[in-house]
Structure 1
């Protein structure tokens, strides 16, 4: 293998120092050299360059025993940012995350009746970019649908009515930064595995509940993509065969456990984002036994689909995100009971079914994290 070019080596070493600060927190130059395996002089030069660019800051010198006092180095809050965006049928979301994995900003906005969701997102993205305290170095968009390997083309997003659409191009023109595209459940799974309910899990199955149902699969810290479209579980043919899905077929799982199906099951019509509507259902369930019973049935239907997925994927942890979170007190137990009952053998590991910790903005947060990947891996210079 030929040696790396000097600029590639410099980017790789810089990224290594940044990742080390991200994982370990404030560290002295000596500690950074020890953790990275780089020479002290190399670390010193990198820290100096990053300090000039306001990527890191240095604290007051402190004496730790013998020798010269050390000055702790840490990543500057809000200096370098990843922008995460999400578009869905009736809401859009945005998030800013800095190099230290700090959530600088998260926000969600309802798409007005009759409005174009992408236009609403462009407006929100521009507002968030204007509020950014630092430099946005990349952006990712989360979409509820099939995304091609080019991370630009949405092959199919039936609930949005998109086929062969390139929404990232529209956002890139408005923002002046490249916007890559990925599936919303994939990005939410990354966020929950990194910062949320599935931290330390070896294998995670994340289920996102919005108008549609999707899944993200994380194994040993990496997304499982199959040939590119893994995780489209909402269209498994295990739902009510009498119900037509937005994809045009009958009996998809999301026709039984998606948000619209849940609202129909409890006889409610509600406005707002999926989380807001689910919260209204939860409030009714506290005083209405019929609503509580309907949600228990919904949980069982959710469990049947999860059991099917578990026999194939064998996850350690299942995380329920999106609208399932406010309804957890009424659906979690019945879903887990069905999963455990329907697994094929008594010795089969029983997955832990958990509620997501990051809310409806999980996909946008995961998108923001992914937007920093090229910097953290050294493909893009700071």
Structure 2
């Protein structure tokens, strides 16, 4: 999960709570470090070897871990490494965007079991969710959670869409429709940029980075802010809504109904208007076609130069406020690479107010169009690695979820 030390758990209310927290510590250690012997787990977590043995036995009985082959131990005795199993527990991440839908199924060990995108169409998200559940949940495999990523502001209940100017979807109806397809009906909704940022910090270009900013590159522009592997969501959970900052062409109309928003100058449709090319079925394929044309067309390169300049304007503002070490550019930005990164860097250098300010390193996303869905799946595993869901007692999950839902409602 995160780069932080798994560390021993602090005592919680009662023996059961402490057991859950210690189990979560062991799971996090195995996820971060890979297969480890019991002695290594005791050293990594600070837990007693006897405690480790009990936890490992419970997790093995639940199908969450398995022992591998022998290897030399620290003091010469053979140690049998314990590793997370990928065939028993999985999580589902979904994304609904303007022109595509995506699904990723992630197993407990962090391996991608399914990764698929389809063009957006009526019913496409529900069809994709249904297919993913049918293929990857059922007898012998448990779906521990599902998260849906949307380009929207999502309320603190992690279910209600408050504002989605590019989708026109509001309220809890979308969540209800998807939840009806899931075993147990458990679903959370999250902002797409937050999900993609989470994916980059755990699987992509921001792994090991303490302070990172992720910028989407789709029809809308949003940002996810990650510190030490965890999302910074702000007071109301709406942090990162950067696409509607007044940056760039002050006359450009935006999908939100106003003029002069940043995404009206650097969003996918703005980029296509700048280069005079049509949109294809996904942002990545569209950008790949633009990059290919730019190789021999000076007018396309000039249009991308203007877009890159406006990207740099917004990043200069964000860098002055947030001071990120790394900025990861995802979506359509990735295939364009230096065609937009070059002018963005130059503008950053010109606009940072002081020479003592450090320009953040600009990196391209490595996760493709499924970044948000991958991050959504990773977030769905969060309750397992925090101890909220107990893999050793799956029959108790329903009561766990009911209790969490009751807390959310309060």
Q: TM-score range by the shorter chain?
A: over 0.9
In structure 1, distance between residues paired with 2:218 and 2:37: 45
In structure 1, distance between residues paired with 2:142 and 2:189: 20
Q: 1:79: how far off?
A: 2.5
Give the corresponding residue for 1:55. Answer: 64
In structure 1, distance between residues paired with 2:72 and 2:153: 55
Task: Select the residue among 340, 345, 361 that pairs with 1:336.
Answer: 345
- Comparing 160-169 with 71-80, greater Cα deviation is found at 160-169
Q: 1:77: how far off?
A: 2.2
Matches within 5 A, 1:1-382: 4-64=13-73, 69-111=78-120, 115-116=121-122, 119-132=123-136, 134-176=141-183, 177-227=185-235, 228-382=237-391
In structure 1, distance between residues paired with 2:343 and 2:369: 22
SS of the residue corresponding to residue 144 of structure 2 reads strand
In structure 2, distance between residues paired with 1:28 and 1:375: 21
SS of the residue corresponding to residue 79 of structure 2 reads coil
SS of the residue corresponding to residue 86 of structure 1 reads strand
Task: Specify every segment of 5 or more residues in structure 2 that has no aligned partner in the other structure, as ranges.
Answer: 1-9, 392-410
- Comparing 9-18 with 298-307, greater Cα deviation is found at 9-18
- Comparing 140-149 with 46-55, greater Cα deviation is found at 46-55
SS of the residue corresponding to residue 174 of structure 1 reads coil
Aligned-CA RMSD value: 1.8
Q: 1:23: how far off?
A: 1.3
- Comparing 128-137 with 46-55, greater Cα deviation is found at 128-137
SS of the residue corresponding to residue 358 of structure 2 reads coil
- Comparing 6-15 with 18-27, greater Cα deviation is found at 6-15
SS of the residue corresponding to residue 162 of structure 1 reads coil
Kindly indicate whether the alpha-carbon contact (under 8 Å) linking 1:88 and 1:160 is maintained by their aligned counterparts in 2.
yes
Kindly indicate whether the alpha-carbon contact (under 8 Å) linking 1:208 and 1:214 is maintained by their aligned counterparts in 2.
yes
In structure 1, distance between residues paired with 2:239 and 2:70: 51
In structure 2, distance between residues paired with 1:181 and 1:144: 10
Kindly indicate whether the alpha-carbon contact (under 8 Å) linking 2:11 and 2:18 is maintained by their aligned counterparts in 1.
no
Kindly indicate whether the alpha-carbon contact (under 8 Å) linking 1:193 and 1:221 is maintained by their aligned counterparts in 2.
yes
Q: 1:68: how far off?
A: 5.4
Kindly indicate whether the alpha-carbon contact (under 8 Å) linking 1:152 and 1:166 is maintained by their aligned counterparts in 2.
no
Q: 1:34: how far off?
A: 2.6
SS of the residue corresponding to residue 209 of structure 1 reads coil
In structure 1, distance between residues paired with 2:153 and 2:171: 10
TM-score, normalised relative to structure 1: 0.94
In structure 2, distance between residues paired with 1:167 and 1:327: 33
Kindly indicate whether the alpha-carbon contact (under 8 Å) linking 1:256 and 1:301 is maintained by their aligned counterparts in 2.
yes
Kindly indicate whether the alpha-carbon contact (under 8 Å) linking 2:247 and 2:310 is maintained by their aligned counterparts in 1.
no
TM-score, normalised relative to structure 2: 0.88
In structure 2, distance between residues paired with 1:313 and 1:65: 44
Q: 1:166: how far off?
A: 4.1
In structure 1, distance between residues paired with 2:170 and 2:248: 24
In structure 1, distance between residues paired with 2:71 and 2:12: 39
Give the corresponding residue for 2:400. Answer: none
In structure 2, distance between residues paired with 1:178 and 1:81: 14
Q: 1:80: how far off?
A: 1.5
SS of the residue corresponding to residue 163 of structure 1 reads coil
Q: 1:62: how far off?
A: 4.1
CA separation of 1:332/1:63 partners in 2, compared to 1, >3 Å: closer, same or farther?
closer
In structure 2, distance between residues paired with 1:27 and 1:247: 51
In structure 1, distance between residues paired with 2:103 and 2:272: 26
CA separation of 1:26/1:65 partners in 2, compared to 1, >3 Å: closer, same or farther?
closer
In structure 1, distance between residues paired with 2:212 and 2:36: 32
**Deviations 1:66-120 (CA, angstroms, capped at 9, x unpaired):** 6753221111124211211110011011111222222222111111xxx33xx21
CA separation of 1:338/1:39 partners in 2, compared to 1, >3 Å: closer, same or farther?
same
